[in-house]
Amino acid sequence: MDVTDLTLIELRDAIARRDCAAAEAARACLDRIEAVDPGLHAFLQVFRDEALARAESIDARLSAEGAGAVGPLAGVPIAIKDNLCLDYGRTTCGSRILENYESPYTATCVQRLLDAGAVIVGKTNLDEFAMGSSTEHSAFGPTRNPWDRQRAPGGSSGGSAAAVAARLTPGALGSDTGGSIRQPAAHCGVVGLKPTYGRVSRWGLVAFASSFDQVGPFGRTVADAALLCEALCGPDPLDSTSAEVEPPALLATLERPIDGLRLGIPAQARSGGVDPDVSAAFAAACSVYESLGATLVLIDLPNLEYGIAAYYIIAPAEASTNLARYDGIRYGRRARLEPGEDLETLYRRSRGEGFGAEVKRRIMLGTYALSAGYYDAYYKKAQQARRVIKGDFDRALDEEGLHAVFLPTAPGPAFKLGAKTADPLAMYLEDFFTVAANLAGLPAVSFPIGLAQADGSALPVGGQLVARAFDEMTLLRAARMHEAATDWHTQKPPA
Ligand code: GLN
């Protein structure tokens, strides 16, 4: 049995049955990371000793107490995005400014995985402070797409998506502010879930845009993402925006198809701006749903077009305030001062040296949008656009009696490294289909629906479902229906 080929649930069950020791599972992942990751750079840090020691302690507990007592993720190796705090190792956010930052505490969501018995094997690469759609804005170099190493894995959680696609770990955590779980999931051919805003505690997730940020899982199957989501969710007194709702029991009904499934298809999903291979895969996925008895309803989301503009005002505005704390005094990198230089010079130099170009661009955009005299013209208008976009989704879901809206995850398949780094707007347009769920706070999932062809490489295509707030159950059941009828999720990138 090649442990790294198992899905998360298969591996979890093998460990619970004691067919595979947790230490053996951890070692298999660590060895594969050592062999494969130098060509991918999905990981910023690997915790070999800590992971093996923890896996051995899980094995001892499994022997003494049995799997039921240890937890639903007993012994499962997981990777976490490096903007999640962990009380050992470093938490860099892909930034020079936090290059040597050691968090004194562990994020609630990570603690929940640990409480469920998971083994954290390492921390994954990301665009600096999660700002980007390709992982190329990492200060520590890009991650490569396992399907074609000349291409980006998407971003900002590109390291986590690539790790799961390349079978370095069976599951991983990412964060999604405007698409950063779903878009890399699509480009790497895995499942990525952004839960409803408020489902998962943000305590210990380094803030980018606090009214959008949400932590969520990657897996190779819908069930794997569902299992991780169950473990992550639930109220947390340490995050006042975490909702007072109990974690959903997603796995119990996952295999039950939805009778009379009704999916809304927005006009934009079929418009000219989408790559032909993505359009073809999307049309094929629609046919799969129809063959399963679903009704597809053409819907109008008239304000979807304003999503990018609204998001790229509000998210930088929030980022500019969240990033004010990196002043070279309280956190992270501190610049050298010559005798006689003042405090302002220290701030300027520390931030000037510590932040990369995209982060500086966001701080300038956000500061401008919030400045006196421009606030009403930009920030307030963007908030109004946010409200009407949410209204579009609510209306479509309710008036048409839909279970979910179905649309592509990204307008094209994975693009070449360097293709969009010189053109920020082109990079931002990658998020055309994903930002709406963040603006509206709705749960959304991306899952594999086909393969595109480019320059001799097969490249995964993702489809995206968006459901009502706190209805992850319907969302994932609908995604599972497509998965059960197709085998796109079993396709593997070249070794
Ligand atoms: N690509 C988007 C951005 O650059 C979303 C990033 C994210 O979700 N963290 O802001």
180 tagged catalytic: yes
Q: What is the pLDDT of residues 157-167, one digit of tens each?
A: 999 999 999 99
Cβ count near 329 (within 10 Å): 12
CA of 408 to the centre of ligand 1 (A): 17
Q: What is the pLDDT of residues 354-380, one digit of tens each?
A: 999 999 999 999 999 999 899 999 999
CA distance to 400, 436, 445, per residue, from 392 (Å)? 12, 10, 19
160: nearest Cα among 141, 175, 138, 140? 175
Per-residue confidence (pLDDT) for residue 205, from 0 to 100: 98
The pLDDT confidence band at residue 68, using thresholds 50, 70 and 90, is confident
User: How many percent of the chain have pLDDT more than 70?
Assistant: 100
Per-residue confidence (pLDDT) for residue 111, from 0 to 100: 98
Marked catalytic residue, from 156, 157, 201, 320: 156
- Ligand 1 atom nearest to 311, measured from its CA: 10
Contact 393, 302 (CB under 8 A): no
CATH number assigned to the domain covering 3-259+414-490: 3.90.1300.10
Cα distance between residue 249 and residue 230, in whole Å: 7
Cα distance between residue 232 and residue 226, in whole Å: 10
| Ligand 1, atom 4, residue with closest C-alpha | 132
Pocket mutation for ligand 1, best pick of 126, 160, 177 (most atoms within 8 Å of C-beta):
177
CA of 306 to the centre of ligand 1 (A): 16
Cα distance between residue 347 and residue 121, in whole Å: 35
287 tagged catalytic: no
Marked catalytic residue, from 134, 157, 180, 279: 180
Pocket mutation for ligand 1, best pick of 124, 129, 131 (most atoms within 8 Å of C-beta):
131
Angle 71-77-80 (CA atoms, 0-180°, nearest 5)? Answer: 105
Per-residue confidence (pLDDT) for residue 67, from 0 to 100: 85
Supply the mean pLDDT for the chain. Answer: 97
Cα distance between residue 131 and residue 140, in whole Å: 14
Per-residue confidence (pLDDT) for residue 425, from 0 to 100: 95
CA 152 to chain centre: 15
Domain ranges of the chain: 3-259+414-490
CA of 338 to the centre of ligand 1 (A): 37
81 tagged catalytic: yes
Mean pLDDT of 295-311: 96
Residue with tokens 């951890």: 26
- Ligand 1 atom nearest to 131, measured from its CA: 4
